[in-house]
Structure 1
Amino acid sequence: MEKVATAQSIWQKLQQKQPVIISGPCSAETEFQVLETAIRLAKTGRVDAFRAGVWKPRTKPGMFEGVGTEALQWLKKAREITGLPLIVEVATARHVEECLKEGIDMVWIGARTTVNPFSVQELADALQGTTIPVFIKNPLNPDLELWQGSIERLKKANIAHVGVIHRGFSNYGNTEYRNAPMWHIPIELKRRMPELPMLCDPSHICGRRDLLFEVAQKAINLDYDGLMIETHIDPDNAWSDAKQQITPERLAELLQQIEWRQETTEKEAFLNALAKFREQINHIDDEILTLLGNRMKIAEKIGIYKKENNITILQTNRWNEILERALKKGEKLGLSKDFILKFYDAVHLESINRQHKVMMDYDHPQQTS
């Protein structure tokens, strides 16, 4: 088959804001499974790189932890046959050494590794000065500073090409997704580091194949630079993460359904209309901030009144009354329950902090000399 891409050309696509698709099985299980998956992916003409888990960090001992180094030979055969560049997860310096020795094109650092700065530093040292692209998945826990710190460790190691993969976050009580996307975290990372290529891994966010399209489309709508989606020749019988994998042919169908969007346009009519809408939003935002400022001034007066009457700041019945009223009003205005709850939680916390401050200032006025 004709060679599809190289790691360098993939990085160029990312720089040029062309979507990159990475796909392959969660785990490399057998040589046949690896080769057959790669061949069928290549036939779709939609995939830029082939992924497969060689070393699998699992939650409990006894679970399938990957074939190990032997599987790298299977991947190299897949590249020879299909021309698809390879990307593998690394978790230790030895993994890095094996991948570099075998000429693996790209690597990624997994979520379980990203949570440990010592592990990330070990990998950064092992990858020091490498020219192959290195991607880092978000940590399991929703900690933006930890994710950004991992990126900075790689950059300080003079690694030329660093990107990130959003795969969702562990969240107690989460039921819809395997890992809650918490879109605001990668959005904030993108704001802080706009030059950083960002891929989305819908497979690990969803944990089930029926949600893949919805999450993939949202990522593209949010200007992500590509997708990493797990595929398998026999998903239901995969040795790991069976529920979230799809066949290569289903991947092609899913990619065909996605509406691929661009970051901007030079069309004058669009730019003029957008400028007007944004100006309206700016005015509304100014009004919202002014109203919130006024609300907090009233909260401070309430704090003084509570202090004078020896009343606690938190009034649970009043808080429930506010929430109930806001949820009913928000529903009529087309606002989601989730948004109302998050917004009012933030407002309530600020109000509590303001009342606490005025109470403390009232009790302990600053001494002047």
Structure 2
Amino acid sequence: MHKLKIQPIQLPGLELKRPIIISGPCSAETEEQTLNTAKELSARGIKIFRAGIWKPRTRPGAFEGVGTVGLPWLKRVKEETGMFICVEVATSHHVYEAVKFGVDMVWIGARTSANPFAVQEIADALKGLDMPVMVKNPVNPDLELWIGALERLNRAGITRLAAIHRGFSSYDQSEFRNNPQWQIPIELRRRIPELPIITDPSHIGGNRELLAGIAQEAMDLNFDGLIIESHICPDKAWSDAKQQVTPEMLKEILDNLVLRRPKIGEDTPRVTLDELRKQIDQLDDQLLDLLKERMKISEAIGKYKFENNITILQTRRYDEVLNNRRERGSQRGLNEDFITKIFESIHEESINRQSEIMNKALKKSKKQE
């Protein structure tokens, strides 16, 4: 494994303090929209302006960005507001164009970071440049792939690196656009403690109503900054309208953030108590989701048993399950009595669910007779 050499993110004349704030529209749509949004953000103290120039979309036909034509707009933002400018790059061509127009920082998106060939192409294009580069987590929850993308950039001599946590795609329905799965960036912090982690509440939430809570959670975990999408008129945005806020709304979110500063010293643990508790919370959520799915299957079994005139309690099957789970739990270092109690409770609830299903089905069949 390549040991990462990380230097602090630096921008000329700007002291970057926690929380680092990066903001701007999902997409640069017009010169007027880009400049007006930047000026409003600058007036509220934002120093780093982000805007999508090339937009990788899930399906063809969606707005995929204005392309290179928007880079002069960002150059004007830099000249007229003094803000630093930041764009997403997905190819070597994007890198060359961004550098040509004076872009200060770039980030690699979730779809690109999942492709080692694409990341290597970008790393080769960035070789020799002392430019901060941020890497979003891959679409799927694959920490090794995320670290691998960072390693490829580092091997190309890029040391001013940061990670962007934007959540992970999930087939299951959730209140989030992308499930945060906080335990993954927490593990990234444990492995590479010197690597800045920027949280992306916009893409995690997918809904402006969730942004403040996600931002606060990131600060409670002692992450280093936030990248939040802001648009002069969010409801008319050409892409991802629901997750963008006005500059005024952004200021309100930031003003209400509570920053908990851990004591710094030789004995300061790399992983804080809050971070460990957050991992437990995330794992408990996963356990609850799995139990929910297990009970759905138990209900389907209850229906099958009714339709095929099978009794609910199948003692031999129950013994097989209990003995099997005890053995498998023991192989994982879990106490057998603990496993027995858990699966006895699960079995009891499964029987209750099946009984309820069969009783309802029986009543319904009697009414139909």
What is the match of residue 307 of structure 2?
none
What is the match of residue 33 of structure 2?
33
What is the match of residue 286 of structure 1?
none
What is the match of residue 335 of structure 1?
none
Distance 1:320 1:231 in 2: 48
Conserved 8 A contact 1:58-1:64: yes
Distance 1:8 1:163 in 2: 17
Deviation at 1:320, TM superposition (A): 5.0
What is the match of residue 44 of structure 1?
44
The alignment status of 1:73 with 2:72, answered yes or no, reads yes
Deviation at 1:321, TM superposition (A): 3.2
Tell me, what secondary structure is at the counterpart of 1:210? Answer: helix
Tell me, what secondary structure is at the counterpart of 1:146? Answer: helix
What is the match of residue 355 of structure 2?
none
Distance 1:310 1:79 in 2: 68
Distance 2:234 2:320 in 1: 64
Sort the Cα spacing of 1:173 and 1:39 in 2 relative to 1 into closer, same or farther, 3 A: same
Distance 1:9 1:321 in 2: 63
Tell me, what secondary structure is at the counterpart of 1:100? Answer: helix
Conserved 8 A contact 1:6-1:85: no
What is the match of residue 321 of structure 1?
344
Q: Deviations over 1:175-203 (max 9, x none)?
A: 21000000000000001001101100000
What is the match of residue 333 of structure 2?
none
Distance 2:208 2:223 in 1: 20
Sort the Cα spacing of 1:184 and 1:324 in 2 relative to 1 into closer, same or farther, 3 A: farther
What is the match of residue 114 of structure 1?
113
Distance 1:37 1:92 in 2: 27
Letter in 2 for 1:149: G
Letter in 2 for 1:235: P
Q: Deviations over 1:257-313 (max 9, x none)?
A: 1112223257xxxx99x9xx98xx9xxxxxxxxxxxxxxxxxxxxxxxx9xx99872
1:1-369 correspondence runs (5 A): 7-10=11-14, 13=16, 18-45=18-45, 47-265=46-264, 313=324, 321-323=344-346
Deviation at 1:65, TM superposition (A): 0.2
Tell me, what secondary structure is at the counterpart of 1:313? Answer: helix
Distance 1:39 1:264 in 2: 37
Letter in 1 for 2:11: A
Tell me, what secondary structure is at the counterpart of 1:69? Answer: helix
- Structure 2 alignment gaps of length 5 or more: 1-8, 277-315, 327-339, 350-369
Deviation at 1:130, TM superposition (A): 1.3
Deviation at 1:314, TM superposition (A): 5.2
Deviation at 1:26, TM superposition (A): 0.1
Tell me, what secondary structure is at the counterpart of 1:189? Answer: helix
Sort the Cα spacing of 1:318 and 1:39 in 2 relative to 1 into closer, same or farther, 3 A: same
Deviation at 1:81, TM superposition (A): 1.0
Sort the Cα spacing of 1:310 and 1:108 in 2 relative to 1 into closer, same or farther, 3 A: closer
Tell me, what secondary structure is at the counterpart of 2:162? Answer: strand
Conserved 8 A contact 1:105-1:133: yes
Letter in 2 for 1:18: R
The count of residues paired between Structure 1 and Structure 2 equals: 282
Tell me, what secondary structure is at the counterpart of 1:7? Answer: coil
Distance 2:98 2:347 in 1: 56
Conserved 8 A contact 2:202-2:244: yes
Conserved 8 A contact 1:174-1:180: no
Distance 2:112 2:77 in 1: 27
Distance 2:38 2:93 in 1: 25
Deviation at 1:19, TM superposition (A): 1.6
Deviation at 1:134, TM superposition (A): 0.4
Q: Deviations over 1:112-152 (max 9, x none)?
A: 10110000010001101210100000000000000001001
Distance 1:232 1:139 in 2: 25
Identity score, percent: 54
- Structure 1 alignment gaps of length 5 or more: 282-305, 327-369
Deviation at 1:319, TM superposition (A): 6.3
Q: When the two structures are superposed, what TM-score results if normalisation uses the length of structure 2?
A: 0.71
| Consecutive aligned runs of 4 or more in structure 1 exceeding 6 Å deviation | 309-312
Sort the Cα spacing of 1:77 and 1:261 in 2 relative to 1 into closer, same or farther, 3 A: same
Tell me, what secondary structure is at the counterpart of 1:165? Answer: strand
